[in-house]
């Protein structure tokens, strides 16, 4: 097996870079070893297990450590890959630092991608994942875009489930019903060759972090004082306050990689995001092109509900996937599916009016017109991290667009009912195929 | 001092993530510690030195290890930063792996940027850097774009020089006159907080790698067999063979970050580059927009020399910096300055005709017209890694555009003379302020 940039922590010594006879790989083409055997596939059934000998106490959820999003559970799962042998056996082992060469591809060329999903402690006391298969399939598409190796999505799913089954009982115990842990599958290239080229070595890993519930905290962020002279939101609202991006900061572009969950989409957004927060906003509303198409809110998908000017019908609208500049959100897809199934005109329950579900390009001019003409019903951001978060205000070109937040000022009705349905599936109130029960490993 | 994600290798144990009371930082604004002291600036005069106790033999330049670009010298320089204390004292120490948390920002959000420059062993036996100040200033601009901390460019320059002075004598000895080492300053965020936010911890480091001379090897690449049915270059030429990018792969866009040396510009280019190589081309020629503007060649700037259709004058043309979609290359700037100074009409020496130097948008249609009308004189790519590399062929929309390669078929005359002048400064044949002599540390 070829030497890897990932070396055991316990070696404790300086590891020199070593020679490796490399073989040329054709992009995207599976190849074989010299002896005619196929490269080893990712295989969760080969997973080795090494339990932590120094398990930690679970810190309180309101501790600074958890609020700072730095706490991970006792274990992680890793699987190393290289171009000549394929996937090594996955390892479930104690969470801890990697040893990585300063020349590693991931540190220079952003050869990295990730996923984000949650483990839920149900009100019925069972642990569940939500549509984990969709995250694993999207991870494959992200890997393909950033020249990282492919794998069977089902095997990654098994690795995630194994880790959740192991650490879930302790880190998300029965007394935290209705709460979650955050799961972060990641792939990085550990290839120590400094040349700009397709990586020959990679590491797939899964970690689990304790996150505060940002769908609540974000509505009242601890934003630093706004700067004098800068645009500031007119007044405190209960929903998310979004600052529309300007033409000098564009998140993604057709022919780029906005659809994939690459590190390269996130780091370059941090300056704009930091400026928005310093000015008292929660997130950037990412616009695109001279017509100011509305694409994403922060790292979430964006939805608006309005009454169509021509038809008078109520519509739930979000940006389409065709141009590949927005992320194919799992929450996005689930909201669209539920709305089509349960909120179609004639089907909507109670006082709610049915909605037409529309995936299409829409612009800030469309939003402003709906606002001015009293047709704007509500807006919300949706994604795994922030779940379904009502939007209360958009600041665009010097103007504050206030968005209705429902009768109690907490949330529009559609966001509320969709959030309720999704939460019901996640936390086991509703039996649904999207909720994947994890059988816990008993200590 | 706040705990860092970088822990000493020698700890050898699993390091749990630890709590840290965090302070809010406003984007781009210098702040102070609670006691009123300013944050510590980057200060090369505080550098500590720990020499390797296991120095390695220098491998032959044609060894597989060097060809694979995996060999670094005995030492590296690092400097840690965090938001509460600023820059720690730089350390010159043995080259070896970092210990980095699986949750580190750089592994998820591509919070990373780098520089590339070379250390030259002059024909006069002295070591030189080339315009190192320009690399250090550009590194600051890259850091600003990716939310990494600022520093005094002069201090990074001193760190680079200290490392070159230490490792240069052994790794680039007197018997390798006319050769170089490759220097890679890098900054990464080591912040272990998983939230998408401006990093609170970072590591600046400098490593030196042994690289084969790619300005020679690339002209005859060991490309894998081309795939049946794919476009392939018509015949072997001596210059670089470039495959023009298609609309489904865009390297950079206005409002993006193409001008900065971010990892996020490189990883996403690897699939297209791998496909180009698999089809027998050396690099991708990156086009932009429906008009197919010519921007960069691989990770180098691109130059064309043609006779202007209207004026009949010979022009040296390259893409402009205004849209900020191309890298502000140090080699690019140096070529433009030398050409303006030494190749202006009336000044050009010998048989060479003077050229007008033009930075402007130009398209593939312009290149094709010049080719068809016999006005195309030559083309070349220029950057630190590949230096000045003549281009022999561009494949665009099913068409091979063959580009003149000079009387001997090796290089156009302008590329040759510019390369000669630059090389003369780098290797000490010409005394010039761009050549910065490094005083060697004698063993």
B84 close contact with A: CB closer than 8 A: no
Q: Chain A window 412-431: which residues touch B at a Cβ cutoff of 8 Å?
A: none
Q: What is the pLDDT of residue A16?
A: 32
Contacts of A292 (CB under 8 A, 6+ apart): A244, A363, A364, A365, A396
pLDDT in tens, B137-151: 999 999 999 999 999
- Pick A110's closest partner by Cβ from B52, B64, B263: B263
- What does the alpha-carbon distance between residue B34 and residue A129 come to, in Å, rounded to a whole number? 43
Q: Residue A247: how many CA atoms within 13 Å on its side-chain side?
A: 8
pLDDT in tens, A87-131: 999 999 999 999 999 999 999 999 999 999 999 999 999 999 999
How many other CB atoms are there within 10 angstroms of residue A217's CB atom?
13
Q: Determine, for residues B71 and A17 on separate chains, whether the beta-carbon distance falls below 8 Å.
A: yes
Distance from CA of A384 to the nearest CA of B (A): 13
Q: Determine, for residues A184 and B108 on separate chains, whether the beta-carbon distance falls below 8 Å.
A: yes
B300 close contact with A: CB closer than 8 A: no
Q: What is the pLDDT of residue B89?
A: 98
Distance from CA of B242 to the nearest CA of A (A): 16
pLDDT at residue A350 tops 60: yes
How many other CB atoms are there within 10 angstroms of residue A129's CB atom?
23
Q: What is the pLDDT of residue A26?
A: 33
How many other CB atoms are there within 10 angstroms of residue A227's CB atom?
15
Task: Give B263's DSSP letter.
Answer: G
A15 close contact with B: CB closer than 8 A: yes
A171 close contact with B: CB closer than 8 A: no
User: What is the percentage of chain A residues whose pLDDT exceeds 70?
Assistant: 86
Q: What is the pLDDT of residue B321?
A: 97
Q: Determine, for residues A253 and B253 on separate chains, whether the beta-carbon distance falls below 8 Å.
A: yes
pLDDT in tens, A149-181: 999 999 999 999 999 999 999 999 999 999 999
Contacts of A352 (CB under 8 A, 6+ apart): A343, A413, A414, A417
Could you tell me the CA-to-CA distances from A380 to A36, A86, A221, A359, B390 in Å, in that order?
A: 54, 43, 17, 15, 53
- Pick B108's closest partner by Cβ from A112, A211, A222: A112
B293 close contact with A: CB closer than 8 A: no
**Chain A residue with the nearest C-alpha to that of B209:** A194
**Chain B residue with the nearest C-alpha to that of A63:** B19
> In B, which residues are within 8 Å of A268 by CB distance?
110, 145-146, 256-257, 262, 264
- What does the alpha-carbon distance between residue A413 and residue A377 come to, in Å, rounded to a whole number? 9
Q: Name B379's bridge partners.
A: B304
- Ordered domains of chain B (ranges, CATH): 18-212 (3.30.470.10), 219-426 (3.20.10.10)
Q: Give A54's pLDDT tier (boundaries 50, 70, 90).
A: very high
10-residue averages of pLDDT along chain B (443 residues): 36 32 34 60 98 95 89 98 98 98 98 98 98 98 98 98 98 96 98 95 98 57 43 65 94 96 98 96 96 96 97 97 95 98 86 94 98 98 95 96 94 96 98 98 83
**Chain B residue with the nearest C-alpha to that of A113:** B108
Q: What is the pLDDT of residue A37?
A: 61
A217 close contact with B: CB closer than 8 A: no
Q: Determine, for residues B103 and A207 on separate chains, whether the beta-carbon distance falls below 8 Å.
A: yes
Q: Determine, for residues A278 and B26 on separate chains, whether the beta-carbon distance falls below 8 Å.
A: yes
Q: Determine, for residues A146 and B71 on separate chains, whether the beta-carbon distance falls below 8 Å.
A: no
Q: Determine, for residues A72 and B102 on separate chains, whether the beta-carbon distance falls below 8 Å.
A: yes
Averaged pLDDT score across all residues of chain A: 88
Q: Chain A window 25-64: which residues touch B at a Cβ cutoff of 8 Å?
A: 25-29, 52, 54, 56, 59, 63-64
pLDDT at residue A234 tops 60: no
A20 close contact with B: CB closer than 8 A: yes
- What does the alpha-carbon distance between residue B197 and residue B188 come to, in Å, rounded to a whole number? 14
Task: Give B262's DSSP letter.
Answer: B
Q: Determine, for residues B270 and A111 on separate chains, whether the beta-carbon distance falls below 8 Å.
A: yes
Could you tell me the CA-to-CA distances from B434 to B60, B123, B322, B419, B430 in Å, in that order?
A: 30, 16, 25, 14, 10
Contact A254, A323 (CB under 8 A): yes
B18 close contact with A: CB closer than 8 A: yes
- What does the alpha-carbon distance between residue B151 and residue B43 come to, in Å, rounded to a whole number? 9
> In A, which residues are within 8 Å of B298 by CB distance?
196
End-to-end CA separation in angstroms for chain B: 35
A373 close contact with B: CB closer than 8 A: no
Phi/psi region, residue B131 (left: phi>0; alpha: psi -120 to 50; beta: rest), is: left
* Pairing between β-strand B75-82 and β-strand B91-94 as defined by DSSP bridges: antiparallel
**A and B: number of Cβ contacts within 8 A:** 332
Contacts of B120 (CB under 8 A, 6+ apart): B127, B128, B129, B130, B179, B180, B426, B427, B428
Q: Is A368 helix (H, G, I), strand (E, B) or coil?
A: helix
Distance from CA of B87 to the nearest CA of A (A): 19
Contact A206, A159 (CB under 8 A): yes
> In B, which residues are within 8 Å of A197 by CB distance?
270, 273-274
Distance from CA of B14 to the nearest CA of A (A): 5
A186 close contact with B: CB closer than 8 A: yes
Q: What is the pLDDT of residue A346?
A: 85
Contact A101, B257 (CB under 8 A): no
Distance from CA of B408 to the nearest CA of A (A): 30
Q: What is the pLDDT of residue B431?
A: 97
A100 close contact with B: CB closer than 8 A: yes
- Pick A147's closest partner by Cβ from B18, B65, B267: B267
Between A201 and B220, name the one with better pLDDT.
A201
A141 close contact with B: CB closer than 8 A: no
B19 close contact with A: CB closer than 8 A: yes
Q: Determine, for residues B65 and A270 on separate chains, whether the beta-carbon distance falls below 8 Å.
A: no
Distance from CA of A406 to the nearest CA of B (A): 29
Q: Determine, for residues A182 and B194 on separate chains, whether the beta-carbon distance falls below 8 Å.
A: yes
> In B, which residues are within 8 Å of A63 by CB distance?
19
């Amino acid at each position: 097996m070829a030497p890897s940039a990932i070396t055991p922590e316990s070696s404790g010594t300086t590891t020199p870079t070593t020679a490796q006879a490399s073989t040329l790989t054709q992009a995207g083409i599976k190849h074989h070893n010299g002896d005619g055997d196929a490269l080893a596939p990712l295989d969760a059934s080969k997973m080795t297990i090494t339990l932590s000998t120094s398990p930690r106490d679970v810190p309180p959820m309101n501790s600074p450590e958890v609020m700072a999003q730095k706490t991970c559970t006792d274990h992680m799962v890793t699987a190393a890959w290289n171009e000549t042998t394929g996937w090594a056996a996955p390892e479930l082992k104690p969470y801890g630092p990697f040893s990585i060469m300063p020349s590693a591809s991931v540190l220079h060329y952003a050869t990295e991608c990730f996923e984000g999903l949650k483990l839920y402690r149900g009100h019925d006391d069972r642990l569940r994942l939500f549509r984990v298969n969709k995250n694993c399939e999207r991870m494959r598409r992200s890997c393909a875009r950033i020249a990282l190796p492919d794998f069977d999505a089902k095997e990654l799913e098994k690795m995630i489930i194994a880790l959740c089954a192991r650490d879930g009982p302790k880190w998300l115990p029965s007394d935290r019903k209705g709460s979650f842990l955050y799961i972060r599958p990641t792939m990085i290239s550990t290839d120590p060759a400094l040349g700009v080229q397709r990586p020959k070595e990679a590491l797939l890993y899964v970690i689990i972090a304790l996150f505060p519930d940002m769908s609540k905290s974000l509505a009242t962020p601890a934003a630093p004082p706004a700067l004098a002279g800068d645009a500031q939101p007119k007044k405190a609202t209960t929903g998310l306050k979004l600052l529309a991006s300007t033409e000098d900061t564009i998140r993604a572009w057709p022919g780029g990689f906005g659809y994939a969950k690459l590190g390269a989409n996130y780091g370059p957004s941090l300056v704009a995001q930091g400026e928005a927060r310093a000015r008292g906003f929660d997130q950037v509303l990412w616009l695109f092109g001279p017509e100011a198409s509305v694409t994403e809110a922060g790292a979430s998908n964006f939805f608006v509900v309005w009454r169509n000017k021509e038809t008078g019908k109520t519509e739930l609208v979000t940006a389409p996937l065709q141009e590949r500049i927005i992320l194919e959100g799992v929450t996005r897809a689930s909201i669209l599916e539920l709305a089509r199934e349960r909120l179609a005109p004639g089907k909507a329950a109670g006082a709610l009016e049915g909605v037409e579900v529309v995936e299409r390009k829409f612009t800030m001019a469309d939003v402003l017109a709906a606002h001015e003409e009293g047709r704007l019903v509500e807006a919300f951001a949706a994604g795994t991290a922030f779940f379904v978060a009502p939007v209360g205000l958009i600041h665009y070109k010097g103007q504050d667009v206030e968005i209705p937040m429902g009768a109690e000022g907490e949330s529009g009705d559609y966001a509320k009912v969709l959030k309720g349905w999704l939460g019901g599936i996640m936390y086991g109130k509703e039996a649904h195929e999207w909720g994947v029960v994890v059988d816990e490993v008993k200590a």
